[in-house]
Amino acid sequence: MSQRTVARRYATALYEEADRLGIVDAIDGDVALLRASLDDSHELHRFFQNPVISDEKKGNVIDALLADRTHELTVRFLKLLVRKDREGMISPMTNQYRALRDEQRGVVEAHVKAAYDLSDDDREALKNALKATTGKKIRLVVDVDESLIGGVVVRIGDRVFDGSVRNKLENLRERFRTGRVGDAPAENGAPPAP
């Protein structure tokens, strides 16, 4: 069984218990906090991955870091993973939990590479355009890649939308190289004359 499948099962179990108790929103927040904590601290990630550190010490760290900041279910769940020697599933489980909740809410994650950091207005306009294209709610994850020169490249799942200046220049260079310069549409959007 793949790590992703196991992580998905744990994420589903956590969600179902939260739903049964009527605390899904609280657990959503806890999982987001845990995910951010693991992403921000490589030491914490390595701590949970280290098989030499005892379950008791890992449980104590969970209590110290999370007991006052998260719901009791979250703490019990993490300790269960530690007892079952599945602490390596904590990070993948948080990813799968988020994916599960996104599916339920009709949200897709759009990974955006932009030549510069996008303003709030640019982000909102891009989200609206992608929502119109996909019919889904959009969560943007933006990374700056100055090599794009301008424009953006968006990846949603397996689909890639490349509106970067770099891509347009490469396409133009290829048309010059192959002698198909006249194949480009006219500036007004009309097809080229025969």
Domains in the chain (CATH in brackets) are 3-103 (1.10.520.20), 106-183 (no CATH)
93-112: average pLDDT: 93
For residue 163, is pLDDT > 90? no
For residue 126, is pLDDT > 70? yes
For residue 188, is pLDDT > 90? no
For residue 185, is pLDDT > 60? no
101-115: average pLDDT: 92
Is the pLDDT higher at 45 or at 57? 57
The mean pLDDT of the chain is 87
67 — phi, psi (to 5°)? -55, -40
For residue 180, is pLDDT > 90? no
What integer pLDDT is reported at residue 183 of this predicted model? 55
For residue 193, is pLDDT > 80? no
Which residue pairs from 16-20 have beta carbons closer than 8 angstroms and sit at least 24 positions apart in sequence? 17/73, 17/77, 18/73
What integer pLDDT is reported at residue 192 of this predicted model? 38
Q: Pick from 44, 41, 43, 18: which is nearest to 30 by CA? A: 18
pLDDT band at 45 (very low <50, low <70, confident <90, very high): confident
Q: Please tell me what DSSP assigns to residue 54.
A: -
